Structure 1
Amino acid sequence: MTGEEGLRACDLTLAGLLHLLLRSSHHSSSKLTIFAAQQAPPAPGSRRQRHPRDAKLSTATPSYIYIPTTITKPSATLPSTDDTDTHYRELDLPSFFNQIPSITMDHRPQAWGRPRDDVYGAYNASYMNPNGPNQATQAPIVTGTSVIAIKFKEGVVIAADNLASYGSLARFTDVKRLRKFADSTVVGFGGDVSDMQFLDRHLQSLDIEESYDLSTDQAPRLNAANLHKYLSKLMYKRRSDFDPLWNHLLVAGLDDAGKPFLAAADLLGTTFTSPSLATGFGSALAQPIMRRYVPDDEAAANLTKEKAIEVIKECMKVLFYRDARSLDSYSIAVVTKDGVDLKENEKLEKQSWKFAERIRGYGTQVV
């Protein structure tokens, strides 16, 4: 920075502060270097004293600026040719700002306007580091769509397709979103796939601990009802930490009494139970179909296993027709007292698009 550039950067307010500082320090304790100008002082009444373009000053580092000041002779150390002349001081900025009285804000150029570290503690600027990955899922990118489930007389049928969408792109076509737990429970995941993988690893660790604890037949088992309560509290805890797991879960299995159990938990930790449940688009497209067969628990107690599987397959077909983020390959699990029967590569059967002919705007129709 040249002397002229440093002077232009020094506005009237800063010049006033410098003037007060110099007067209070009596020029003896301040760390200043004084240079003589090669020109007489500017005309009276000028708002700012500028260093002439042809002045020859020593090269200053970016930590210094030049300020004009008027000195009246006699002076034994400063050369001059007139009684009053303009001189320029080379000011050490860090030293200058350290002499300002203690205030609660740090106004040094290195930390404009931030609270002082010695008053409020060190400032955590880790979030400004662009090199590390952002691990908080606040904007899900790779997601899974609907999970549907229905209770019947002896257990629960649950299904989900194998597609993970990258935004609106059908990117990953072999993502299994049903997870078996302890051969007695199935968890279906809707929503963000990365959070699903986190929960899957967590459930695997929990399953290993459960298998070690079951050393005797009298040891309590973590059944579907207990697992649902555990997952709902985990989701609520993450939501309370402002870092939610961006998933909607369905837990299917048996409760303590061996009766069919089906419940949901969303990213807020909200829980819900019903004879039939669905997440995502399925709550609007598949749920009305399932409620036609199981409007209440009494109807679910009379529904056969074969009919429940047929209803689920029909709902998966409707979702493939109507949901742009669905796939014709899906996973289906049947949970009974005999265990979990999980099939992960099922294909939709008897597909027909003839119903689309009745939709205006389809194909070559224009009216």
Structure 2
Amino acid sequence: MRSSKLISVVPRTLPESHLYSFHFIPTLRSIDFFQSLSAYVAVSMSRQPYVTGTSVLGLIYEGGVLIAADTAGSYGSTTRFKSVERMKAVSNNTLLGASGEISDFQAITQLLDRLIVADAMWDDGNDLGPLDIHNYLTRVMYNRRNKFDPLWNTLILGGVKNGVKHLGSVSMIGVHYVDNHIATGFGIHLAQPIFREEWKENMTLEEGTRLLEKALLVLFYRDRSAINKIQVANVTEDGVHISQPYALKSEWNLEAFKNPTASAAGSW
């Protein structure tokens, strides 16, 4: 049986042609081999997100598009930051919201800032609309996915241009769609059923805001990463308005919360 110590004969600087060639080492199954090889192969991809935001919700109402999210930033499973804004106006009539890695969201907004500036330099009287930016983001996310270095976000983009309302979503691998109401993260399971039941096309601004607040309150009760400090953004033909953070009123004296297993079946 060959000793794993033979790995020590590997030169400190390997030729490029040998970086992915395994036949020059006799001890392929040794742990030392893989540990040594990893020292020569640079890995730059994002292995996992660190500081993340949970669900973002959006819906179309009679006057435009509403998008809402809480302001929590979780470090792993710990709610570390409670004043993280996860929505940004990227043009005069378009707003972007994101769940997932906060730093990747910041990188995406920097890309969009450069895109908007480059488009404005043409000075042709035509601004990028929500559909244009949505299409751009699908290419960016799919491109990064193909490099095995994805941006760890699910995005919601809403806007109004020439009287046409647009609400769409892009996943971290470039999957995209448009709909009248959208949720990301845990909101897909908890908020979307509420939207399907209560959303209607001619909703007023007040009705749409109440519906978003109701869905966010359910997420606050059921999603460990959610908090009750939220922001609601309103996108119309006239521009983008993002509210100041405010707290939803919650109720924890419900009997189910006090003693959730009182009527549960079991042998204990």
User: Which TM-score applies when normalising by structure 1?
Assistant: 0.61
Q: Tell me what 1:157 maps to.
A: 66
Taking the aligned partners of 2:189 and 2:93, their CA distance within structure 1 comes to: 29
Report the alpha carbon displacement of residue 323 of structure 1 after superposing the two structures with TM: 0.8
> Which residue type is aligned with residue 316 of structure 1?
L
Letter of the 1:196 counterpart: F
Deviations 1:36-76 (A, max 9, x none): xxxxxxxxxxxxxxxxxxxxxxxxxxxxxxxxxxxxxxxxx
Please state if 1:268 is matched with 2:168.
no
Partners of 2:230 and 2:246 within 8 A in 1: yes
CA distance in 1: counterparts of 2:10 and 2:165, whole angstroms: 64
Q: Percent identity?
A: 32
Listed as ranges, the matches of 1:325-364 within 5 Å are 325-349=225-249, 351-355=250-254, 357-358=255-256, 361-362=259-260
Deviation at 1:338, TM superposition (A): 1.2
Query: Secondary structure of the equivalent of 1:331?
Result: strand
Give the equivalent residue in structure 2 for 1:128. Answer: 39
Match of 1:53 in 2: none
1:319 matched residue in structure 2: 219
**How many residue pairs end up in the alignment?**
244
Deviation by residue 1:274-312 (Cα, 9 ceiling, x = unmatched): 110000011111111111123xxxx32x22121111111
CA contact (8 A) 1:360 1:366 kept: no
SS of residue in 2 equivalent to 1:149: strand
What SS does structure 1 have at the residue aligned with 2:226?
Answer: coil
Matches within 5 A, 1:252-331: 252-255=158-161, 257-294=162-199, 299-300=200-201, 302-331=202-231
More displaced, 197-206 or 272-281? Answer: 197-206
Alignment of 1:85-124 (within 5 A): 109-111=9-11, 117=15, 121=17, 123=19
Distance 1:137 1:108, change over 3 A: closer
- CA contact under 8 A between 1:176 and 1:344: conserved in structure 2? no
Aligned to 1:184: 93
- CA separation in 2, counterparts of 1:306 and 1:345? 17
Tell me the residue number matched to 1:145: 54
User: Does the residue aligned with 2:243 lie in a helix, a strand or coil?
Assistant: strand
Displacement of 1:228 in angstroms is 0.4
Distance in 2 between the 1:123 and 1:220 partners? Answer: 50
Distance 1:147 1:126 in 2: 42
In structure 1, C-alpha distance between the alignment counterparts of 2:8 and 2:57, rounded to whole Å: 60
Corresponding residue number in structure 2 for 1:194: 103
Give the counterpart letter for 1:263 in structure 2.
Answer: G
Question: Which amino acid in structure 1 is aligned with residue 252 of structure 2?
Answer: W
For residue 110 of structure 1, report the CA deviation from its aligned partner: 3.1
Distance in 1 separating the partners of 2:186 and 2:129:
28
Code of the residue aligned with 1:358 in structure 2: it is A
1:245 corresponding residue in structure 2: 151
Contact 1:278 1:286 in 2 (8 A): yes
- Residues 122-143 of structure 1 show CA distances to partners (whole Å, capped at 9, x for unaligned) of 648996279x9x6422211211
**How far apart are the structure 1 equivalents of 2:209 and 2:242?**
12
Q: Which residue of 2 aligns with 1:58?
A: none
Q: Identify if the C-alpha distance between structure 1 residues 366 and 290 changes in structure 2 by more than 3 Å, giving closer, same or farther.
A: closer
Gaps of 5+ in 2: 21-35
1:223 is aligned to 129
**4+ residue runs of structure 1 moved beyond 6 angstroms?**
none
The separation in 1 between residues aligned to 2:223 and 2:180, in whole angstroms, is: 23
1:222 to 1:126, Cα distance in 2 relative to 1, 3 A: farther
Deviation at 1:267, TM superposition (A): 0.8
| Distance in 1 separating the partners of 2:102 and 2:257 | 34
**Equivalents in 2 of 1:181, 1:200: separation in Å?**
7
Task: Give structure 1 stretches of 5+ with no counterpart.
Answer: 1-10, 12-106
Task: Supply the distance in 2 between the matched residues of 1:191 and 1:310 (Cα, whole angstroms).
Answer: 25
1:189-212 deviation line (CA, Å, top 9, x unaligned): 111112112112212222322333
Change (3 A) 1:332 1:258: same
Q: Which amino acid aligns with 1:238?
A: R
**Bigger radius of gyration among the two:** 1
Letter in 2 for 1:353: W
The alignment partner of 1:171 has SS state of: strand
- Computed over aligned residues only, the root mean square deviation of the Cα atoms, in angstroms, reads 2.9
Q: Which residue of 2 aligns with 1:4?
A: none
**What is the letter of the counterpart of residue 245 of structure 1?**
L
SS of the aligned residue for 2:58 comes to strand
TM-score relative to the length of structure 2: 0.82
The residue identity in structure 2 corresponding to 1:212 is M
